[in-house]
Structure 1
Amino acid sequence: MQSRGDLVTAVIGHAARTRVLTAPTSRVLRFLPAGLLALDAVIAAVTTGAAAFLDHGMPAFDPNAGAESASHLWGPTLLVGWVLVIALGGGYRKQVLGGGADEYKRVLNATLAYSGIVAFVLFMTQADVSRSFFALFFAFGLPALLLARWGARNVLHRARQAGRLGVPVLIAGDSRHVDQIHDILDQARWLGYRVVGAVTPADEIGGAVGNVPVVGTIDDVTDAALRTDAEVILFAGGSSTSAQDLQEKVWDAEERGIGVVVAQSATGITTGRATYRPVGGLPLMHLGAPAWAQATRIGKRTFDVVGASALLLFFSPLFLFVALRIKIHDGGPVYFSQNRVGRQGVPFRCAKFRTMVPNAEELLAALHLATGYDGGLFKMDDDPRITKPGRWLRRYSLDELPQLWNVVRGDMSLVGPRPPLPNEVARYDAAARRRLHVRPGMTGLWQVSGRSDLSWDHSIRLDLYYVDNWSMLQDLHILWRTLGVVFSARGAY
């Protein structure tokens, strides 16, 4: 069964217009794991040959190597072993391909484990393999593998955004959850889930939920999937009356050869924290420490301080240019600071380059009235208060750079939830307050998923996912994606 983490990676996609995808699925997807395995094998072979060529310390593929030396067998052996360890580590499982950081994590962990195994074997056998070859092999190979996966993923995402290589999905749940899940999947079209219909409780049966046609009730979910040629059933909240009921539906679907995805809303548990231990035939779920507890420890803080300090030094000439540009434009202050709420509800002053007219706060009430603002984050795609230099500062997020000092001070992190305003926090419910368990970030899932194009509820959902599923690798992934979002200026206004 696919985990909730695999589903929720759908919220990390690019924003798109709401619609029901209708393009046919492709048999190419069946060969995706085999294709990636072949790609990794080619990368490993090229890496082995390149390392041997540069080092001259091992006849990796030398056909003239004598029978008295077995060293010429090391090259092919390393190649096959590497791909095998990645496979054993789940690097070719369909559930992790094409979305989230789990795919990269599995390749990384498998490669690190394999390097340790190879080092141990070489030491124990005293094989005639130079240390420089060993270092070159993994120093070249790991980045090449990760880069190849990134390239393959981009090709897959572009195909899915064009309506190809999709997987037909039937959503099971009550109307509210069906609409919510469809919205998430549609905003992440690159994930490839193509919604073909929904089944709802009998008392909610109707023509459609939003743009999703209702094709049956949750009691006949498997039959409805067969009628609509759905390859996957996504069980959302309201799809079952009990754990036993859900389990029976899953069994029925699996017996008919239909894949199953269970949304977190169907269970209420973040499965990334869960481990299962059978006791008397009953699988007990044990919850580990929440991810946000790890996100507050010294490793992330050290990364923040070192990274922010280096960026402050690197961008110092840009700081001077921007400050002069703002000052020359209207003679007003260079910086704008505002009260924001940090970790555990502690307020702090958040600094930005000023992008609006000096009396912007005085004009805010009139804009609220004119636009019908009813709470949450206030954004306008053509805000009349924004100055000329402010537009390009916002377009490329340069106005955020002074927050690097907030990161050094400990008010913020490089990656985290969006720093909220006090009036926003005052309206938080119990779930939304979980955002305050970690330091707010200069960038985050909200930044790489649409920025100002996102709804208030969607932004909160992204932040909560980050809090519950934090990892250092995910932070690095978000920082990398931030570069692309900033340069393309998507959702910036």
Structure 2
Amino acid sequence: MDRSIRSLARPRLTIPDQVGLARHSRRVAALSMALWDQVLIFVGFAFAYWLRYMAQWPEPFDAIVFEVATQNQVEFSAFLPIIIPLMLLLALRFTTRGLYRATPRLGLLDQMTIILNSTLTGIALLIVFVFLYKPFYYSRLIFIFAGISIVVLLSSWRILRSAVQHWRWSHGLGQERVLVVGGTGLGLEVMSGIASAPGLGYNLVGYLYDRPIVACERATRVYRHLGSLDDLERAVLQSKAQQVILALPFWEHGRLPDLVLICQKLGVDYLLVPDFYQLSFDRVDVHQLGGVPLLAPKEIRLRGANLALKRMVDISAVLLTAPFTLLLAALIAIAIRLDSPGSALFCQQRVGKGGRLFNCYKFRTMVPDAEERKAELIAHNEADGPIFKMRDDPRVTRIGRFLRRSSLDELPQLWNVLLGEMSIIGPRPALPSEVAHYELWHRRRLEVQPGCAGLTQALGRSDMSFDEQVRLDIYYAENWSVGMDLRILLMVIPAVIGGRGAY
């Protein structure tokens, strides 16, 4: 009786209160990160001072330099008027660059880029100011050491924090509760992305749409249907959602203002997903006509000079790594021949840039009569769209299973790269039978050369739906840069090591 009275007397938190607490906790986390950064900046400068003046590294190369260095040696306290402005300058620079914003979430590489650029700018300004004021009073090396130390400390701290955060999210700890509004192709893609990547920190509580998603090839998972679009307020209150993602098809966009007002009334964060899905591009260029904004599809960037640059990088990378890859390929070929009869290499016709056919080379991972047995297994296909994927494919050999999980079966495709038929980074080369079932917007992925690895392998591999893979390929083609290729390569390595989505 007393317990029930106490429970009734205890005030219950409303959704706005819960959202307010979530935002408060994010602000506290951002403030904590900023304070830690200040501590590490100070520590970095202190380490630079120790390295230059206490450890006296590097050692002077003659007596004259040693005498000058000894005369220029100052107490650490003399650097405080320099360290404090540097800390404030970097804090301001990090804040304006969005390093401490809770949303949108910055990727680890983006954070490290901001840290590097901001630190270089801060140290450069500091050097100019100090040596205009006192040209021969301080050692120049200490500023270089300080810059390197600060970048290393701040980056290492974020790598550690990101690893812990990813582990917690992957185990369902501290995830943000998300409600998706929309149940068509666009809503399915959003829900599939959330469900297949728990490490992103989102917990899908369900979705709203006027009719439940019916069982189909694209609905590979069962999502919780919480009602129609008119039930948004009730669904948010009952599910305690902290964020709403509005992923409505273009014919439902007339209802967006009312849905946004409900989110604002409840104080819930919301994101809008523009339905460019049917237009076959992920990003647009904005033009104006008499003050009216016009959207045009973003052009493919892999043309002209960009294409020549990418080709030069591909050839250089293949030739530089050839001694290692040739030795590894020889060992794999021997292992394949010892494991099962037949050739170590497998040649298959694939569709390249512009729909041109070429012979794609891979290490054989299946029994010799695999293609003939494919028809018997078509009913067990676990992939949507025109592609065929099966987790426990009986045609895969023992060594083949390892090669697929590690993606080493694709090593011979470096020969296709040298021939100019493929690139190191790019969309997956498709089979002619798959391309025959492409929708019109799918064919945009054929405007660039296929690659040995791409965004699909980096983000989810076989766990992604086919339409989601195509959207990633189109995004890559429209936004290519050398930096993007490098990022994809850095993302593919842990994905391959972990074997995520590979079968």
Q: TM-score range by the shorter chain?
A: 0.7 to 0.9
Shift of the 474–211 alpha-carbon distance from structure 1 to 2, 3 Å rule, reads: same
Q: In structure 2, which of residues 212, 220, 223 is the aligned counterpart of residue 211 of structure 1? A: 223
Shift of the alpha carbon at 1:157? 2.0
1:185 aligned partner: 194
Q: In structure 1, which of residues 78, 82, 105 is the aligned counterpart of residue 86 of structure 2? A: 78
Shift of the alpha carbon at 1:353? 1.8
Shift of the alpha carbon at 1:158? 1.9
Shift of the alpha carbon at 1:484? 1.9
Deviations 1:277-297 (A, max 9, x none): 8976x6666876555569943
Q: Kindly indicate whether the alpha-carbon contact (under 8 Å) linking 2:387 and 2:434 is maintained by their aligned counterparts in 1.
A: yes
1:343 paired to 2:349: no
Shift of the alpha carbon at 1:170? 2.6
Q: Which amino acid aligns with 2:196?
A: Q
2:76 aligned partner: 62
Q: Which amino acid aligns with 2:439?
A: D
Q: Kindly indicate whether the alpha-carbon contact (under 8 Å) linking 1:172 and 1:233 is maintained by their aligned counterparts in 2.
A: yes
Q: In structure 2, which of residues 236, 243, 253 is the aligned counterpart of residue 225 of structure 1? A: 236
Unaligned runs of 5+ in 2: 1-20, 54-68
1:389 aligned partner: 399
Distance 1:373 1:267 in 2: 20
The secondary structure found in structure 2 opposite 1:194 is: strand
1:139 aligned partner: 148
Distance 2:298 2:213 in 1: 41
Q: Kindly indicate whether the alpha-carbon contact (under 8 Å) linking 1:356 and 1:385 is maintained by their aligned counterparts in 2.
A: yes
Deviations 1:425-472 (A, max 9, x none): 222222211212322222222213333344433433433343344444
Q: Which has the higher relative contact order, 1 or 2, with Cα contacts under 8 A spaced 6 or more apart?
A: 1
Distance 2:327 2:480 in 1: 33
Shift of the alpha carbon at 1:388? 3.0
1:414 aligned partner: 424
Q: In structure 2, which of residues 249, 274, 277 is the aligned counterpart of residue 238 of structure 1? A: 249
The secondary structure found in structure 1 opposite 2:396 is: coil
Distance 2:320 2:392 in 1: 34
Deviations 1:129-174 (A, max 9, x none): 5443333333343344333323222222222222222222232234
> Over alpha carbons, which structure has the higher Rg?
2
Distance 1:315 1:213 in 2: 50
Shift of the 117–26 alpha-carbon distance from structure 1 to 2, 3 Å rule, reads: closer
Shift of the 26–433 alpha-carbon distance from structure 1 to 2, 3 Å rule, reads: same
Distance 1:61 1:272 in 2: 55
Unaligned runs of 5+ in 1: 1-23, 66-70
Q: Kindly indicate whether the alpha-carbon contact (under 8 Å) linking 1:446 and 1:462 is maintained by their aligned counterparts in 2.
A: yes
The secondary structure found in structure 1 opposite 2:226 is: strand
Q: Which amino acid aligns with 2:342?
A: G
Q: Kindly indicate whether the alpha-carbon contact (under 8 Å) linking 1:237 and 1:266 is maintained by their aligned counterparts in 2.
A: no
The secondary structure found in structure 2 opposite 1:392 is: helix
1:307 aligned partner: 317
Shift of the alpha carbon at 1:103? 4.1
Q: Kindly indicate whether the alpha-carbon contact (under 8 Å) linking 1:59 and 1:72 is maintained by their aligned counterparts in 2.
A: no
Provide the aligned length of Structure 1 versus Structure 2: 459
The secondary structure found in structure 2 opposite 1:364 is: helix
Name which of structure 1's ranges 159-168 and 170-179 shifts more when overlaid on structure 2: 170-179
Q: Kindly indicate whether the alpha-carbon contact (under 8 Å) linking 1:198 and 1:212 is maintained by their aligned counterparts in 2.
A: yes
The secondary structure found in structure 2 opposite 1:491 is: coil
Q: Kindly indicate whether the alpha-carbon contact (under 8 Å) linking 2:49 and 2:76 is maintained by their aligned counterparts in 1.
A: no
1:172 aligned partner: 181
Shift of the alpha carbon at 1:206? 10
1:96 paired to 2:85: no
Query: Normalising by structure 1, what TM-score?
Result: 0.78
Distance 2:262 2:37 in 1: 36
Percent identity (aligned): 32
The secondary structure found in structure 1 opposite 2:444 is: helix
Shift of the 459–176 alpha-carbon distance from structure 1 to 2, 3 Å rule, reads: closer
Q: Kindly indicate whether the alpha-carbon contact (under 8 Å) linking 1:26 and 1:165 is maintained by their aligned counterparts in 2.
A: no
Shift of the 392–466 alpha-carbon distance from structure 1 to 2, 3 Å rule, reads: same
Shift of the 223–308 alpha-carbon distance from structure 1 to 2, 3 Å rule, reads: same
